[in-house]
Amino acid sequence: MELRDALRGTGAVRKFLPDYVDDAVLFRVLDDARFGPSGGNRQAWHVIVLRDVAIREALGALYLDAWHDYVGHVLEGLVPFSPLATDDERSLATSRRGDAIALSQPDGFAETIASAPVLLAVSVDLGALAATDRDLDRYQIVGGASVYPFIWNVLLAAHEYGLGGVMTTVATRREPEVAQLLRLPATHALAAVVALGRPEKRPTKLTRKRVDEFVTVDRYDGEAFTGQ
């Protein structure tokens, strides 16, 4: 696959064929993905391949519980868990949890994540992150730069081998319970859960903003960068 095609065509896949994914294929995916960049090349990630049905189901239950919170925000017209949300907005979102549960679909991704052909839990060693924004009076984001490029590489590599998948951070809403379930060290945080498999249907028409809609010259309010 050409790199340009991979960059433009690796969309989120949440519905999978029941096909078994061979361990050798998964190993090759992870072997390619490991070259993702990280701060100081410390490669602070750890991947858990989830096989045990009981563990998968327990994680799935925690994921679905967190998903209801997520949907409550959507129903209230909010960006879920936005760092800029007010306490009143968060309270309103919480009040919609019952509505979110009522909308649950038996064949939805959140309801069936435990049955994904491949299910990975990716944690990150907090002690290895160069979180240069840790002392700023705002939400911290920089540390993620040392783990999420690797996870994106997993999705790109999976595409190369005919797989599709999605990275989801919803389960971090229940991180203490997930950490106990997966026996994560106290120094590790849950970065994401990744589901992979043979896609029922691969998205081919991805919609994204144009470059001139998010790139400006010299300042945030500068003129749009058009490449002309």
Q: For residue range 35-72, what is the model confidence (pLDDT) as tens digits?
A: 999 999 999 999 999 999 999 999 999 999 999 999 99
Give the separation between CA 181 and CA 206, rounded to whole angstroms: 36
Q: What are phi and psi of 82, to 5 degrees?
A: -55, 135
Domain boundaries, the chain: 3-202
3-state helix, strand, coil in the chain (%, to 5): 45, 15, 40
- The alpha carbon of residue 92 and the mean position of all alpha carbons in its chain are separated, in whole angstroms, by 25
Residue 130 is predicted with a pLDDT of 95
Residue 203 is predicted with a pLDDT of 86
Q: Reading across the β-sheet that carries 188-197, which strands appear in turn?
A: 45-49, 118-125, 188-197, 164-168
Give the separation between CA 119 and CA 106, rounded to whole angstroms: 19
Q: What are phi and psi of 21, to 5 degrees?
A: -105, 115
Element (H, E) at 169: none
Question: Diameter of the chain by CA atoms?
Answer: 57
Residue 176 is predicted with a pLDDT of 98
Residue 205 is predicted with a pLDDT of 82
- The alpha carbon of residue 228 and the mean position of all alpha carbons in its chain are separated, in whole angstroms, by 35
Give the separation between CA 20 and CA 31, rounded to whole angstroms: 19
Residue 135 is predicted with a pLDDT of 97
100 and 111 Cβ atoms separated by less than 8 Å: no
3-202 homologous superfamily: NADH Oxidase (3.40.109.10)
The low-confidence residues of the chain, meaning pLDDT below 70, are none
If DSSP codes are grouped into helix, strand and coil, which group holds residue 18? coil
Residue 1 is predicted with a pLDDT of 79
